[in-house]
Amino acid sequence: MNEYIDLKRSFIDYSHSSDPEAVAQQSYVNLTFGTDTNLYWDKLLESKYIIVLGEAGSGKSWEFNAQCERLKSSGKFAFSLRLEDLVEGQLSNVIDASDEPKFHNWLNSEESATFFLDSVDEAKLKSPTALHIALNHFVKGIGQHLISRINIVISSRISEWRNSTDSAEVMHRFNIPRDNNDTNLTLKTVLLAPLNEAQLHQLAEAKGIIDSNGFINAVTNQSALQFASRPLDADLLIQYWQDNHQIGNRQELLEHSIPHKLSEREERKSHALLPLNKARSGTETMAAAAILCKKFNILVPDTDINHHSESLNIKVLLPNWSAQEQNALLNLPIFDGATYGNIRFHHRTTTEYLCACWLQERMQNQLPYPDLKDILFMHVHNRWVIRPAMLSISTWLATLGENPWNKCIRKFLLEHNPESFLQYGEPRNLKLNDLKQLLHSLITQYNGRQDVRLATEIYQLLALAQPDLADELTTIIQDELISDDIRIKIIQAIKHGKLIQCNDALLNLINSDDSDYIKRYATTALSELANKQQLEKLHLIAQQYSEIPSLLCADFCEALYPKIINPEEFLSLIEKVAPHEDKSSIDIPYYLEQLFKNNDIPNTHYAPLLNGFIRLCQKEPHIKEGNKSSTISSEFVWAGETLLQVLIIILSQATVNKTLYPQISKALILLNAINRCHLSHRVDKELLELNQRLLRDCKLNCVSAYH
């Protein structure tokens, strides 16, 4: 990651008053990934004293250098320094030669300057008191009398930041008050937020991926977003795509990323103490301890907090390792921050996988199977059951190989816990007969139950999307005695796995007396999988309905319009929306709005759409206004929201057809009437904006004249 790519990174408030566990969870989110925090560099740099925390590979140094250059280019004084250089040298020797003239200009000016000090963790590799030494050299080099004219931004890995002692050191050196009415003058601590999907998309394009949409879709389909929340992670995922032209299964991605995350970056190679095999062994031990002890936080050595019993202690777990080796391990990118004084594995999936690998190695080194059984199972009411906390580990072990213990665990899970393969492990390692048994056991286990609520990911479901399983899958989805929850999961597997062999079965579902819930999922799947002939069959089925539930109607419209049906046929489907539904809760306008946004609707369609929705909004019976009858349909009052969307699209066109002026005026009058008589489907704000636009836009003045 040499050339800077502006991803518009955001930050999460990491103040000591925050719930640290809640903040930590935000650093683990998947690319769904990344809620907008609304705290970006421009806003952050309004603060005078800033600590930026982030795990290894999060892009701290990358961002520091870029922001320093940005401030320079805007005419401000800004300097980027490495704290580890300040540990060994005076400020005058650390300032880059190209910055020396600007530094002296600043010293002789009365302006402020921003110093980016990167990074505490690398400085501490030289000395435990590195921060004290580096800041002492920095302040002496600046001069105490100029401290009021500097802004500082300091970076650190979370594992190396001691909140009480390090924050106190910074506050002491720069005379920062603990409390101030102006929060920009207090010490602000933030966490560099994980990447979101838009940032991953941008990064992929910048890295030369031509089909970035295909890459993002592949990442999403493989549930691999969790492997791309940091630039380091994203870079590895992009590299895997470029090397293999696909996104591998979960185990392949883990085995691709783990070695990289157990190696320091090139600029830190001089500090590397651990060969890869030792680092792997150590992390597997830490992962096994985290799972078996049910403690996912790892105490940072020599931390200044007292909750020792709540965290794992690396000194206890790896007693034969030197303090330097222990520290080097915890600084590897496979870990990130959890709370102050604690770190944890970056991904829970990684922890579980490494724990399973640790157990696999124990077995290969002659651990007796009864001992493994005691770890994974417990005896309850005269039968063996999987310990709940070990279900994910057991599932990984069941899919890690063909050793006798792998087969025994796999056989037990397929018979007694088939749903585990739809939640954990690597189900793509299962053979066809295993998958058939999984389906059979799943149906048998939940026989007679409708409320199943399987917690699954699309990734796991895709293991079932095998052409050789198409017959079994079509049988399951058409069996009304099987739980809707299970059938819906199978339909999702068919959809995301693109099993077009099941399309006829999906059509049969929609044409049956099955639940509307099932029909909706079947329609959504057909929308993506069906060919033209099958979509025409879907239209014929929809036409046979005398009434259509509103959301099912929205799904029909999304599947058919505009690729199969014309505006009149589309309006005919809309007119079938069940009249008995609660009009205040109808969501179809939202779905129709998305349909218009996401499809290339021909301009010639909007005139009949405008006329059609005007007609629907006025269809009898009408709403009464007091003792008088209005002209607003009581059944289709909700259609006013869609009428407004059509109107906005028409008026956004470069040229508005003059023959539509009377209908546009009629639509505006109708929308105002709907606002007066129906609170649930008011469009006040949108209508006001539209009216103001009509008055502002000279080319539409004549339309306003009709209104």
Tens of pLDDT along 412-436? 999 999 999 998 999 999 999 999 9
Peptide bond into 562 cis (omega under 30): yes
Q: What is the pLDDT of residue 32?
A: 42
Q: Is 60 exceeded by the pLDDT of residue 602?
A: yes
Contacts 24+ apart (CB under 8 A), 684-688: 686/644, 686/648, 687/644
Section 113-121 average pLDDT: 91
Express as a percent the part of the chain with pLDDT over 70. Answer: 88
Q: Is 80 exceeded by the pLDDT of residue 704?
A: no
Q: Is 50 exceeded by the pLDDT of residue 554?
A: yes
- Residue 283's nearest CA partner among 313, 303, 258 is 258
Q: What is the pLDDT of residue 130?
A: 87
Which value, in Å, is the radius of gyration of the alpha carbons in the chain?
Answer: 31
Section 85-93 average pLDDT: 88
- Residue 279's nearest CA partner among 255, 259, 299, 300 is 259
Q: What is the mean pLDDT of the chain?
A: 86
Per-residue pLDDT tens for 219-269? 877 777 767 888 878 888 998 999 888 888 889 989 988 998 898 654 454
432 C-beta neighbours (distance < 10 Å), count? 10
Per-residue pLDDT tens for 365-406? 999 999 999 999 999 988 999 999 999 999 999 999 999 999
Strands 77-82 and 113-118, bridge-based pairing: parallel
617 C-beta neighbours (distance < 10 Å), count? 22
> Which of the four pLDDT bands, split at 50, 70 and 90, describes residue 533?
very high
Per-residue pLDDT tens for 311-340? 899 999 999 999 889 988 988 888 875 455
Per-residue pLDDT tens for 131-190? 999 999 999 999 989 999 999 999 998 767 887 789 999 999 999 988 777 778 889 999
Lowest mean pLDDT among 50-59, 89-98, 585-594, 685-694: 685-694
Express as a percent the part of the chain with pLDDT over 90. Answer: 54
646 C-beta neighbours (distance < 10 Å), count? 24
Q: What is the pLDDT of residue 34?
A: 44
If one compares 608 and 656, the residue with the highest pLDDT of the two is 608
Which positions ≥6 away from 480 have C-beta within 8 Å?
Answer: 514
**The whole model's pTM is what?**
0.72
Tell me, rounded to whole angstroms, the distance of Cα 131 from its chain centroid.
Answer: 35
Backbone angles phi, psi at 384, to 5 degrees: -85, 135
Q: Is 70 exceeded by the pLDDT of residue 19?
A: no
172 C-beta neighbours (distance < 10 Å), count? 12
Handedness of CA 247, 248, 254, 255 (dihedral sign): negative
Which positions ≥6 away from 426 have C-beta within 8 Å?
Answer: 249, 250, 251, 396, 399, 400
b/e string for 52-86 if b means 16 or more Cβ within 10 A?
bbbbbbbbbbbbbebbbebbbeeebbbbbbbbbbb
Tell me, rounded to whole angstroms, the distance of Cα 512 from its chain centroid.
Answer: 37
Per-residue pLDDT tens for 56-73? 778 898 999 999 999 999
Strands 298-299 and 77-82, bridge-based pairing: unpaired
Per-residue pLDDT tens for 285-317? 999 999 999 998 888 776 554 545 678 999 999
Strands 377-380 and 383-386, bridge-based pairing: antiparallel
Please check whether residue 671 is in contact with residue 686, taking contact to mean a CB–CB distance below 8 angstroms. Answer: no
Section 524-544 average pLDDT: 97
Q: Hey, what are 491's tokens?
A: 């339909």
Query: Could you tell me where the DSSP H helices lie in 120-249?
Result: 120-124, 130-142, 163-173, 197-206, 212-221, 231-244
Q: What is the pLDDT of residue 229?
A: 80
Judged on CB neighbours under 10 Å (0-12, 13-18, 19+), 666 is: middle
366 C-beta neighbours (distance < 10 Å), count? 6
Lowest mean pLDDT among 34-43, 164-173, 188-197, 403-412: 34-43
Q: Is 50 exceeded by the pLDDT of residue 705?
A: no
Q: What is the pLDDT of residue 553?
A: 95
Q: Is 60 exceeded by the pLDDT of residue 25?
A: no
Q: Is 60 exceeded by the pLDDT of residue 270?
A: no
Q: What is the pLDDT of residue 454?
A: 80
Section 459-465 average pLDDT: 90
Q: Hey, what are 560's tokens?
A: 């058919």
